[in-house]
Homo-oligomer: A and B are copies of this chain.
């Protein structure tokens, strides 16, 4: 059986990635696509790589008939999402890819996003979308909040370790490198090819990146006390892929064991043998996550490296994985394509 799917905000990269993945999904069918400013256009005009597909035209959200829609993906900008979702049918299943429902605590939301949440009751309802850790809740959820792509990468390294108590939660440094598509299709000078190609640099240095709100929330939860990591993202001249190099205190063997145990049955998390080093080139375009652990030359210290594709497992692939659960489908449906290399 095929579920009718709507994608709200289909003219951005995560929207296009949803279409790419659903195009060969065995039990999802795209019934509606929205893009306010591009309403009336063909998706193939906005994203010519999708022009071979037979897709509905882009519409305004108000024009969509949700009566037959089984699930909607919201790939709208932050802040817009909470306003739009508030007005959608109350029984519509929703996977939101924005930042609007990631933080459960209204105060934390206000701290990181600079204004009070406009839909606090929805915020309370939303389940944090890191499938591996919230599988049961997601399966029964109506509203799932897709995670930050950086947060997902770091949390795959850290959440099981903090939970297992094998690392010191006060001594965590996450140095993360991300390709440019995570910043979306926005017209910003620093995203121009001529500005970025051949360059690399940190941004949001000093602990100002909004994804820190998710690190704080999830790690404090499993630690049972407040955890505040250090986190520096870097922009690198690549389109896709995030690699996080995470410096922790603890025994490398115990760390590897804890991660291995946590991910033993996970279909998309690939543990490398000890000393193995992930790379963004090895997960590009796929829903797979590579995780490696190496002991440092200084005793009691280790480095955990995690790589994933920000648009797939970090965003749209994760969203579909969650939607599969919400719709009662096989969790891996439509998501087992191998990475593309070179």
Interface residues on chain A, size class: 35 or more
A244's nearest neighbour on chain B, judged by CB, is: B202
Q: Is A197 an interface residue (CB 8 A)?
A: yes
Inter-subunit contact B198/A284 (CB<8 Å):
yes
* Chain B positions within 8 Å of A240 at CB level: 198, 342
Minimal beta-carbon separation of A97 from chain B (angstroms): 16
CB-nearest residue of chain B to A208: B297
Q: Give residues of chain A (4-62) contacting chain B, Cβ–Cβ below 8 Å.
A: 13, 16, 19-20, 23-24, 47-53
A291 nearest CB across to chain B (Å): 12
Given the known inter-chain contacts A177-B234, A337-B337, please indicate yes or no for A342 contacting B207, CB distance below 8 A.
no
Least Cβ distance of A247 to chain B in Å? 5
Asked whether B247 lies within 8 Å of A230 as measured between CB atoms, the reply is yes
Q: Closest B residue to A13 by CB, please name it.
A: B342
Given A177-B177, A206-B275, are A23 and B338 also a contact pair (CB < 8 Å)?
Answer: yes
- Which one of A63-71, A88-96, A144-152, A179-187 is at the B interface? A179-187
Chain B: minimal CB distance from A333 (Å): 12
Q: Is A1 an interface residue (CB 8 A)?
A: no
Taking the closest CB of chain B, its distance from the CB of A336, in whole angstroms, is: 6
Whether A180 lies near B193 (C-beta < 8 A) is yes
One complex includes copies of this chain to the number of: 4
Docked pose: A50 CA to B341 CA in angstroms:
9
- Specify which chain B residues have a CB less than 8 angstroms from the CB of A196 in the assembled complex: 193, 281
Bound-state CA distance A312–B342 (Å) is 12
Instruction: Please tell me if the beta carbons of A285 and B340 are within 8 angstroms of each other in the complex.
Output: yes
Residues of B contacting A198 in the complex (Cβ-Cβ under 8 angstroms): 179, 197-198, 238-241, 280-281, 284, 342
Q: Which residue of B lies closest to A196 (CB)?
A: B193
Q: Interface segment, A217-225, A301-309, A318-326?
A: A301-309
Contact residues of A between 225 and 273, Cβ < 8 Å to B:
228, 230, 232, 234, 236-241, 243, 245, 247, 270, 272
Report the minimal beta-carbon distance from A30 to chain B, rounded to whole angstroms: 12
Q: Are A24 and B337 in contact (CB under 8 A)?
A: yes
Which residues does chain B contribute within 8 Å of A208, judged by CB atoms?
297
Q: Does A191 sit within 8 A of B, measured CB to CB?
A: yes
Q: Which chain B positions have C-beta within 8 A of A342?
A: 13, 181, 194-195, 197-198, 239-240
User: Nearest-CB distance from A314 to chain B (Å)?
Assistant: 14
Q: Are A200 and B236 in contact (CB under 8 A)?
A: yes
- Give Cα A277–Cα B204 distance, bound, in whole angstroms: 9
Residues of A within 8 A of B (CB): 13, 16, 19-20, 23-24, 47-53, 173, 175, 177, 179-181, 185, 187-189, 191-203, 205-208, 212, 228, 230, 232, 234, 236-241, 243, 245, 247, 270, 272, 275, 277-286, 288, 290, 292, 294-298, 301-303, 305, 307, 336-342
